[in-house]
Amino acid sequence: MAEALAKREREILDILYRRGRATANEVLEDLGSGRTYSTVRSQLRLLEQKGHARHEVEGTRFVYLPAVPRHTARKSALRHLMDTFFEGSPERLVAALLGDTRAVSDDDLDRIAAVVSRAKKEGR
């Protein structure tokens, strides 16, 4: 299993997921000020060592990509969030989300209800 990420590593991985693939220079551009090229390259290498990113060589450039599909990373991040902040309880996580009325529209609630209904039918 891949190691946990520091905040700056998560920022870089977010860029890789958003772009699909990126060079260190492209990551540096997206991060904005406050980072150096060598720092970004080091963090990309760490992401590779931790199993979160990989690279391909294109000519003289290293192009970095996420090592796992977005849906796999999403499940892992959600499990971590639920375990860390909601004592592993899906009910508590959903209750917190639904408790923020600014974050959930009526259409969102309808779609959530449909997902719950499907999950019940599938025997989850």
pLDDT of residue 39: 95
pLDDT tens profile 76-119: 888 888 999 999 988 888 888 888 767 788 888 888 889 889 98
Model confidence pTM above 0.75: no
What is residue 16's three-state secondary structure? helix
Q: Which residues of 49-64 are buried (b: 16+ CB within 10 A; e: fewer)?
A: ebebbebeeeeeeeeb
pLDDT tens profile 39-60: 999 999 999 999 999 999 999 9
Burial of 41 (0-12, 13-18, 19+ CB in 10 A): middle
pLDDT of residue 124: 61
Q: In this structure, what token pair is assigned to residue 12?
A: 């870089």
In the beta sheet, which residues pair with residue 66?
53
pLDDT of residue 123: 77
